[in-house]
Chain A
Amino acid sequence: MKRLHLERLANPQLLALAGVLLINWLLFPNFFRITWQDGRLFGSLIDVINRGAPVAILAIGMTGVIATKGVDLSVGAIMAVCGAVAATMVVAGYPTPVAVIAALAVGLACGLWNGFLVAVLDIQPIIATLVLMVAGRGIAQLITEGSIVTFNDPALIFIGTGSFLGLPMAAVIALVLMVVVTFLVRRTAIGLFIQAIGVNRAAASLAGIRSRMLLMLVYALSGFCAAIAGIVVAADIRGADANNSGLWLELDAILAVVIGGTSLLGGRFSIPMAVVGALIIQAMNTGILVSGFRPEFNLIVKAGMIILILLIQSPLAGRIFTRRLVPAKAAAK
């Protein structure tokens, strides 16, 4: 418990975000300049929040999945499917709310399918979600009939590019979703149950937790979040691109969750920190772009970051830290 307390005090994620932003500022002095124009805020910082929103939304759902010791590889493909559903329905003349609700329902259904494979058929999460990851883009192309479906529906476009109180709509959606899900998970016992399943599913079941039901719920939430992200991305580019929408974003989302301090071994999670993780990734992306480096360095920086996190999270580092801390505390006493 003490270690957890220390971590909360230092909050490495927020420090890291501050560090990345500071480096960006050093590389690009105008980084923090925010201007007010046409009823909304502009600036690199706002851009980070706006561009980081889809990954942040995915990360919210992914956190729950990873907390149960699972992983959801299909979110990128679900994004493509849901974007395609929303776009084709709007083009076909359905009212925007109907199209959006249909897309959300499809995402929920995809998530339930994953949950069914994991919870009922007892298939490993990586493999269970691999099925949709492979097939999903094919399904998305089936819906768009192989082309990029573009649309001009103002209400749908507003979801991607509009603004609310000066903030980009995508960021507002991510923020609201984060608050709602965090509240739902932390103010009820659901969070505790999820952690219990992540630590030991068999034990949790014996203790009376309906692990099947909860696992279904967690994957359904991930699919739902992917649907929101898919709609946001499609609305942003005013079209549904079955091939490229959400491509490799599942990996970014997993990375964001891991940066956020959620253990891949299950049992410990934080949704707000996962969102911060998504912002750190985007701040680095934007930083690399504005400072004039080639975008290819992005991948290498990301790889370096994963290795660094693994080193910090590893039991090896834990042993070294505790070895140093324990004598220090003993000396203090």
Chain B
Amino acid sequence: MKRSLRPLAATAIIFIIAYALSVLQFPSMLSTRVLGNFLTDNAFLGIAAVGMTFVIISGGIDLSVGAVIGFTGVLVAVLISWMGIHPLLAFAIALSVAGLFGAAMGLTIHFLNVPSFIVTLAGMFLARGGASVITQDSVPINHDFYGTVTGLIIRLPGGGRLSFIGLLMIAIFILGALLAHRTRFGSYVYALGGNEVSASLMGVPVARTTVQIYMLSSMLAALAGIVFSFYTSAGYPLAAVGVELDAISAVVIGGTLLTGGYGFVLGTFVGVMLLGLVQTYIIFDGTLSSWWTKIVIGVLLFLFIVLQRVIFAASTSGEKSPEKA
């Protein structure tokens, strides 16, 4: 097996073991129904996490994801329910707004040369504040189109359901993987995360790529917001608070290095599924409170970071930092 695939394999094996243990305890967890709900319940998180993967591979971080999901939900709900615009047009508007938003963040990061985390922090305040200024209440969406889309279900043997949004998430993951590993843009992202200076010396258009990365992340977050609005049939300004943390956790658990330059889109998929498994297990157990989710995710995050350190230290054992020397 290729050395570089080890973290991905580690995550996948841990997921399989964890799932097998859960199934041993609760045999009913091995059903198409549970697997189908896995996809549906985590669709918005998965889509947002794809964008986050690109950002983290490029060596940055995007804290505005959750706020953009909330903002998009409110924007779409207001456009559809208050202004009577067709959902598809509303989606196009929301995606364009998010694209501009991401472009502005990318431009700021590149041209003002500031850490991405503080710029996207400002973006988070802006998007969350903007959503709250539009409305403070939950705006329901009652459009036939929403009913049609939620009705698009593939029934699986065993009572499972593959929903449209679940399939959309899988499609986004496949497209994301192709974009990362098979296109020029993808290799630019990896180059940027490896070393920005050498990337620019090699002829990578750093400014354009940075802007595109944050546009991609914000637009995928907006898509996640649209998916979230399908999931809840409403837009709420405080929706998806803290989803950026879940997305970052999923990316890290999926084997992407936070220092940039190394990672897998499909690893993020396993990461999202692992987070979903933790939640489902806690629901199945019934006696554990929901706050155990947070602790387990924190522990997983810690384990994977340490695992990465060990693998990373093993692969670069030749160079020693001055402190260790």
Contact = CB atoms under 8 A, between A and B. Distances in A.
Interface of A: 71, 117, 121-124, 126-128, 130-139, 141-142, 146, 202, 205-206, 211-212, 242, 251, 254-255, 258, 264-265, 294, 296-303, 306-307, 310-311, 313-316
Interface class of chain A by DSSP: helix
Given A137-B291, A313-B114, A296 B129 contact: yes
Given A127-B258, A300-B125, A300-B126, A146 B291 contact: yes
A310 B293 contact: no
B81 interface: no
A128 B295 contact: no
A202 B293 contact: no
A141 B291 contact: yes
B298 to A, nearest CB: 2
Nearest to B109: A310
B298 A135 contact: yes
Top 6 closest pairs, chain A to chain B, by CB: A135-B298, A299-B129, A138-B294, A296-B132, A138-B295, A303-B125
Interface string B115-132: 101110111111011101
Interface of B: 61, 108, 111-115, 117-119, 121-126, 128-130, 132-133, 136, 245, 248-249, 252, 258-259, 289, 291-295, 297-299, 301-302, 305-306, 309, 321-323
29 contacts: A71-B117, A117-B302, A117-B305, A123-B305, A123-B309, A126-B258, A127-B258, A127-B301, A128-B305, A130-B248, A134-B301, A135-B295, A136-B298, A137-B291, A138-B298, A242-B291, A254-B118, A254-B121, A264-B118, A296-B133, A298-B129, A299-B126, A299-B129, A300-B129, A306-B122, A307-B122, A310-B118, A311-B112, A315-B113
Contact of A131 (B61, B289, B292, B305): B305
Contacts of A134: 245, 249, 294, 297-298, 301
Interface class of chain B by DSSP: helix
Contact of B299 (A135, A251, A301, A311): A135
Contact of A205 (B61, B114, B245, B322): B322
B220 to A, nearest CB: 21
Contacts of B132: 296, 299
Contacts of B115: 264-265
